[in-house]
Structure 1
Amino acid sequence: MADYMERDKLKYPSLSSAFKFSMMALALCAMNAQAAAALSDTEIRTILKQRIDQEKMAASIVVGIIDDNGSRVISHGYASLEDRKLANADTVFEIGSITKVFTSLVLMDMNTKGELSLNDPVAKYLPKSVTVPGRAGKQISLRDLSTHVSGLPRMPGNFAPKDPANPYPDYTQDLLYQFLSTYQLPRDIGSKMEYSNLGVGLLGHVLCLRAGVDYESLVKSRILLPLKMQDTGISLTADMKKHLAIPYIVTEEGASEATLTATSNWDLGRFDGAGGLRSSMTDMLRFLAANMGKQESPVQAIVDKMQEPLDSQALGKPVRLAWGGGNKYGSEIISHAGATGGYRSYIGFDRKAGKGVVVLSNATTDVDDIGSKIINSEYRLRQLKMPLSFVQAIEKAGYDQVLAVYQDLKARDADFYLREEVLNEWAYAKMKTGKPQSVVELFKLGVYLYPKSANTYDSLAEAYETAGMNELAKSNYQKSLELNPQNQNAIQRLQVLANGSKGGF
């Protein structure tokens, strides 16, 4: 059975994310820079326009921001391409795995009220006929399910959907129980984190059994209604249906432009607790405000409690119920992302910095990079593709006219720009064509556009070295080191060149 989960997102394996480029080389060149300036609303809107209008990688993106200036929504694109209906704060999206945060809030609420304990074994709440796998004398607890250390796989082995476009509805309770009763854990419980849709789906199911209600009723009564999230749920109200964004799959054939194809909404069934909720930006900003401590509510205590790290369980990292995140570029971000068959979502916040973001989209291009960059602009946007207008103009004018082509396109459209990562990745791909001078021109453009980036000088140096222009390679490696003294690639290549070795990689 193929893998049904990637990172922290609920997704069907045949609908793989488009354009997953490696960031490893770029990460090696990251600098210990000072806190970056916040993106302006104009800069955020430019990012949305680039992804939607130029790269054609999304139908619409709605961004909600909370910071010292209050809350606001920035949106671009269409909730329905066919009807040309603009997306806005009231547009409804599937939020996918962000649902897991709501499920764990219900768990925390029930724990706080003494209805259960985080450390209760899952088996306590299931029928006696169901055998829950254990290992080394330990049973899987409710907390293990929420923190993804249960040892259960991402998806059950007997998951065989009849409809790939809406894969979950036919997975029954009997199938769930059959899988649990026959599965053997591959490792000790708590020894390793492995993201599990099965685990959190099972958690939601168990909470419903304990409460005696269905999942939607449970999460509405405990979380949604106290936060006044009227347009969030699983079943679509008439108003939610009116504002529901059409989901789209992003595809690209060869060198042609990406295309957006409408697809089906998902019904999660037994996996509702892992990814079944739908919501609007208006509601998600209420949820974000509560998590940032900006909005007092009846559930504030459990919202705050869930952000506290539990005792360490995995690789020395702080372990929280449901939430992920990390500490990078001086930001301590708590976050979660989500994905279903035609939607992507992200929620993240740096509570100490007082800044949080929600990003919702109705297409299969990930948006977590946009959210992270809005919180802290040091984060890099995901590399997707070069603007077609730029590629066509260069092919026509010649690579010796790269700078002139860029300047002409910029003069025609003030919003036109080339992201450093995209240009860099594209130029490296061109390096394989055997035309080193053309590649040199592309990397020279990178230096022109991003003169304070150590990576652009490092890349230009590699291009010069490949072309046998070693003195120019040395000077650019040295410039890169001036900007980033920790650039190991520049250090190593300068040593090679100093020893008289020929260029090349």
Structure 2
Amino acid sequence: MVRLCRQLAAALLASSVAGFAATPAAAGPLLDETVSFAAEIFFLDVDVPGVVVAAVKDGETTVVGLGETRKGNGRTPTGDTVLRIGSITKAFAGAMLAHAVAAGEAGFTDPVAPLLPDSLGAAAAKRQPIRLIDLATHAGGLPREVPRAPGPDGDPFSTITDDAFATWLDGNDLLFRPGSAVLYSNFGFDLLSAALAGAGKKPYPQLLAERVTGPLGMVDTRFELAGDMAERLMSGHGFDGAPLPDVPSGAVITGSGGLRSTANDMLRWLQWHLDDTADGIAREARFLDHAVYLRRDGLATVVGMDESGRMDGMGLGWVAMNATAQRPFVLQKAGALQGQMSYLAFAPEKQVGIFVSMNKFDFSAAYAMAAFANQLLVELAGD
């Protein structure tokens, strides 16, 4: 009976989410003007080949592309330009945890070890219990990266493996008691996606497609290139401004940073987050995904969370910034991978969201990108 109820819950979740795949409404002149003007100023202020800015307000959407998808190619990015979203992938992993909890597959306080495969699960079981919620909030006591040998130039992520994770867990104590502090951890989010695959009894990319990206019509949000995606790629550029090659994401960094997407797909996802008309399991999943699970003032230390705005609390992969006199409550996440840097933020109570991406590794420009997006979000929210 329990299994049947969980299967029914999962089916209801899929059908409920599917109701949000409608095409976003085009922007009115005011939204277009506001976003276009701000985007042009930002682009002129930073030394990057190309920028794409997408915004949603009260169901209306707009996309602005500036510069080039690759230095010197003359192609302006659009809403369908394919790019890497880096660590914004973590927010999808958090959403997948919310879906698993809403469907009855897992609980926030479930330990991760029994859900992990083979030697990885055995190694995790030797440490202090790490809960799923600890992984989703960067509070698992794990390092930022798993120690590993460098991968080859054409496949740099190939040495991030379950065996590398197991070796570290087998030979090292956790850096702190899970839940007591926050340390930004790609390691932790890759364990989370592996655990969610165990809970869902399917490969994580398949679960993501079935529960989130497929129902929402996010056809370009995936780990590997398909169809004509290669023809629409935005090339990343290194710190020296030289284009970087496109490389595979690999099979393991599915929770931390492997996703590709487009601005139009990000708008579809933002609209799902901002649409409050859902009911049933979809409504529960979004409610869980927008909650704050760790408050900063209750933590022993916080490391690596303030680059895009001060973290006041942690959601499921989301950095939460409390409402102030100058801004509404915001959930945000930044990401960077292979010469591309992106930022997504939304104010659930104000029905506004922003996605920005640029195609060069440049930390000064990344700080400016977050500041620009946060200010634009305030302007669109009317605060």
Q: Fold match, TM over 0.5?
A: yes
Cα distance in 1, alignment partners of residues 277 and 261 from structure 2:
19
Matched residue, 1:306: 289
CA-based RMSD = 2.5
Matched residue, 1:23: none
Matched residue, 1:293: 275
Structure 1 residues 440-462: Cα deviation after superposition (integer angstroms, max 9, x where no partner): xxxxxxxxxxxxxxxxxxxxxxx
Q: Could you tell me which amino acid in structure 2 is paired with residue 156 of structure 1?
A: V
What SS does the aligned partner of 1:282 have?
A: helix
Q: Could you tell me which amino acid in structure 2 is paired with residue 370 of structure 1?
A: F
Verify the 8 A CA contact 2:70 2:243 in the aligned structure 1: no
Match of 2:225 among 236, 239, 252: 236
Asked if residue 193 in structure 1 is aligned to residue 195 in structure 2, the reply is: no
Matched residue, 1:274: 256
Verify the 8 A CA contact 1:229 1:283 in the aligned structure 2: yes
Query: Residues 110 and 345 (structure 1 numbering): CA distance in 2 closer, same or farther, change over 3 Å?
Result: same
Structure 1 residues 453-504: Cα deviation after superposition (integer angstroms, max 9, x where no partner): xxxxxxxxxxxxxxxxxxxxxxxxxxxxxxxxxxxxxxxxxxxxxxxxxxxx
Matched residue, 1:376: 378
1:294 Cα offset (Å): 6.3
Asked if residue 119 in structure 1 is aligned to residue 116 in structure 2, the reply is: no
Q: Could you tell me which amino acid in structure 1 is paired with residue 349 of structure 2?
A: K
Verify the 8 A CA contact 2:343 2:357 in the aligned structure 1: yes
What SS does the aligned partner of 1:120 have?
A: coil
Structure 1 residues 217-259: Cα deviation after superposition (integer angstroms, max 9, x where no partner): 12111110111111110111122112111111133xxxxxxxx
TM-score normalised by length of structure 1: 0.60
Asked if residue 245 in structure 1 is aligned to residue 234 in structure 2, the reply is: yes
Q: Could you tell me which amino acid in structure 1 is paired with residue 258 of structure 2?
A: G
Matched residue, 2:3: none
Match of 1:354 among 336, 351, 354: 351
Query: Residues 45 and 120 (structure 1 numbering): CA distance in 2 closer, same or farther, change over 3 Å?
Result: closer
What is the correspondence of 1:90-109 to structure 2 with a 5 Å cutoff?
90-109=80-99
Aligned length: 326
What SS does the aligned partner of 2:286 have?
A: helix
Cα distance in 2, alignment partners of residues 346 and 87 from structure 1:
16
Higher relative contact order structure (alpha carbons within 8 Å, sequence separation ≥ 6): 2
Larger Rg: 1
Matched residue, 1:226: 215
What SS does the aligned partner of 1:331 have?
A: coil
Cα distance in 2, alignment partners of residues 311 and 368 from structure 1:
22
What is the correspondence of 1:20-169 to structure 2 with a 5 Å cutoff?
40-51=34-45, 55=46, 57-68=47-58, 70-127=60-117, 129=119, 130-132=122-124, 138-157=128-147, 159-163=148-152, 166-169=155-158
Verify the 8 A CA contact 2:146 2:164 in the aligned structure 1: no
Query: Residues 314 and 235 (structure 1 numbering): CA distance in 2 closer, same or farther, change over 3 Å?
Result: farther
Gaps of 5+ in 2: 1-31, 300-311
What SS does the aligned partner of 2:197 have?
A: helix
Gaps of 5+ in 1: 1-37, 252-259, 379-505
Verify the 8 A CA contact 2:38 2:376 in the aligned structure 1: yes
Cα distance in 2, alignment partners of residues 300 and 359 from structure 1:
27
Verify the 8 A CA contact 1:134 1:185 in the aligned structure 2: no
Cα distance in 2, alignment partners of residues 192 and 69 from structure 1:
37
Q: Could you tell me which amino acid in structure 2 is paired with residue 282 of structure 1?
A: N
Structure 1 residues 115-162: Cα deviation after superposition (integer angstroms, max 9, x where no partner): 121111111112464221666xx51011110011111111113x2213
Verify the 8 A CA contact 2:314 2:320 in the aligned structure 1: no
Query: Residues 358 and 143 (structure 1 numbering): CA distance in 2 closer, same or farther, change over 3 Å?
Result: same
Cα distance in 2, alignment partners of residues 192 and 248 from structure 1:
34
Match of 2:198 among 179, 201, 209: 209
Asked if residue 319 in structure 1 is aligned to residue 311 in structure 2, the reply is: no
TM-score normalised by length of structure 2: 0.78
Cα distance in 2, alignment partners of residues 304 and 312 from structure 1:
17
Cα distance in 1, alignment partners of residues 254 and 361 from structure 2:
20
Runs of 4+, deviation exceeding 4 Å: 294-298, 311-314
Verify the 8 A CA contact 1:39 1:377 in the aligned structure 2: no
Using the TM superposition, name which of 96-105 and 265-274 deviates more: 265-274
1:352 Cα offset (Å): 2.4
What SS does the aligned partner of 2:342 have?
A: strand
Query: Residues 128 and 344 (structure 1 numbering): CA distance in 2 closer, same or farther, change over 3 Å?
Result: closer
Cα distance in 1, alignment partners of residues 90 and 59 from structure 2:
29
Query: Residues 242 and 300 (structure 1 numbering): CA distance in 2 closer, same or farther, change over 3 Å?
Result: farther
What SS does the aligned partner of 2:66 have?
A: strand
Cα distance in 1, alignment partners of residues 258 and 98 from structure 2:
19
Cα distance in 2, alignment partners of residues 58 and 91 from structure 1:
16
Q: Could you tell me which amino acid in structure 1 is paired with residue 56 of structure 2?
A: I
Verify the 8 A CA contact 2:340 2:359 in the aligned structure 1: yes
What SS does the aligned partner of 1:150 have?
A: coil
Structure 1 residues 154-193: Cα deviation after superposition (integer angstroms, max 9, x where no partner): 1113x22133675312222222211221120132221111
Matched residue, 2:162: 173
What is the correspondence of 1:340-351 to structure 2 with a 5 Å cutoff?
340-351=337-348
1:89 Cα offset (Å): 0.6
Cα distance in 2, alignment partners of residues 69 and 191 from structure 1:
39
Query: Residues 271 and 42 (structure 1 numbering): CA distance in 2 closer, same or farther, change over 3 Å?
Result: closer
Verify the 8 A CA contact 2:51 2:77 in the aligned structure 1: yes
Cα distance in 2, alignment partners of residues 147 and 333 from structure 1:
16
1:331 Cα offset (Å): 2.4
Query: Residues 313 and 117 (structure 1 numbering): CA distance in 2 closer, same or farther, change over 3 Å?
Result: farther
Cα distance in 2, alignment partners of residues 371 and 39 from structure 1:
15
Verify the 8 A CA contact 2:43 2:51 in the aligned structure 1: no
What SS does the aligned partner of 1:148 have?
A: coil
Cα distance in 2, alignment partners of residues 276 and 190 from structure 1:
26
User: Percent of aligned positions with the same letter in both sequences?
Assistant: 27
